[in-house]
Amino acid sequence: MKISTEIYSTARHVGEEKAIELIAKAGFDHWDFSMFEMGRIDWRTYTLIESNHPLTKPNYLDFARKLKKIGLDNGITCNQSHAPFPVRVPEIMKLQKRAIECTAEAGGKICIIHPDNNSTAEQNAEMYLELLPFAKEHGVKIATENMWNWENGATQSCFAACSTAESFKNHIDIVNDPYLVACLDLGHAEMKGSGDGAPYMIRELGDRLKALHIHDNDRLHDSHQLPFSMNIDFVEIAKALKDIGYQGELTLEADQYLTAYTKETVLEGLKKMAESARRIEELMK
């Protein structure tokens, strides 16, 4: 089974170009194209922050092609991507097609596009149905993801779009198109108050499940830490993935883990991340 990881957390130390080189050197097979810089927002006002990042420029596809070449030069390819969010911000919603284009140019096959946390499956279906013809033209599947909310004063997370197996299946089945698939965020699935637990959700999703976001937490907060470092039971998760015959990649999203590293030491952290992904792979055998 192939392993991959997102580039955002490494790029914070060394930039996207060097990030892909280091991810290859660490032993990953693929890189996950994080496109958050395409549309950064001020979370206090939900407005776009001005940016000079290449993904915000008219020649944004050139940057995607450049990253693809760096990957190929280092023996790895893009397997999936993550579009900017939240989609309820109109300026962010307008960028989803750009994210799909960049995914295709980079060689990725799946673009994760968050549902609107507070919308119903029917309401989110309208968004996905609007994007699917464009995604099909570019040969890119869209993956929706299980989300969570946290209310002021709460001691644990609460329901959001796709956070339960029932809601997740509804989101996929209402659209009823092979180009809309599931990306299960294992950390979100394990958070008390919102998720149903990753093993259960894996089995319920079955062949809808085509992508993963893998990271660890205390089963309360969205910590995005190294697998096997906190409280999530990856033995049971691996068993569930094996039970459904999961054929996708093992993609890490342990982005907070790498904040403890520096430009000089980030490769060491990436190697530990690759080792954790290979450990999950071994558990699936």
| Digit-coded pLDDT (tens) for 246-275 | 999 999 999 999 999 999 999 999 999 999
pLDDT confidence band for 124 (50 / 70 / 90): very high
Please state which CATH number belongs to domain 3-283.
3.20.20.150
Q: How far apart are CA 114 and CA 145, in angstroms?
A: 6
Q: Provide the CA 246 distance to its chain's centre, in angstroms.
A: 17
Query: How many CB atoms are closer than 10 A to CB 122?
Result: 10
Half-sphere exposure of 21 (CA within 13 A, CB side): 9
Cβ-based neighbours of 166, under 8 Å, separated by 6 or more:
none
Assess contact for 235 and 272: CB atoms under 8 A: no
Of residues 74, 92, 84, the one with CA closest to residue 33: 84
Q: How far apart are CA 5 and CA 18, in angstroms?
A: 14
pLDDT score recorded for residue 280: 98
Identify the burial level of 210 via C-beta atoms within 10 angstroms of its C-beta, where 0-12 means exposed, 13-18 middle and 19 or more buried. buried
Q: Provide the CA 199 distance to its chain's centre, in angstroms.
A: 18
Helix (H, G, I), strand (E, B) or coil at 81: strand
| Digit-coded pLDDT (tens) for 78-90 | 999 999 999 999 9
Q: How far apart are CA 49 and CA 158, in angstroms?
A: 28
| H, E, C per residue of 175-219 | HCCCCEEEEEEHHHHCCCCCCCCHHHHHHHHHHHEEEEEECECCC
Percent residues over pLDDT 90 in the chain: 100
| Digit-coded pLDDT (tens) for 212-228 | 999 999 999 999 999 99
Q: How far apart are CA 106 and CA 61, in angstroms?
A: 9
Q: How far apart are CA 89 and CA 134, in angstroms?
A: 20
pLDDT confidence band for 12 (50 / 70 / 90): very high
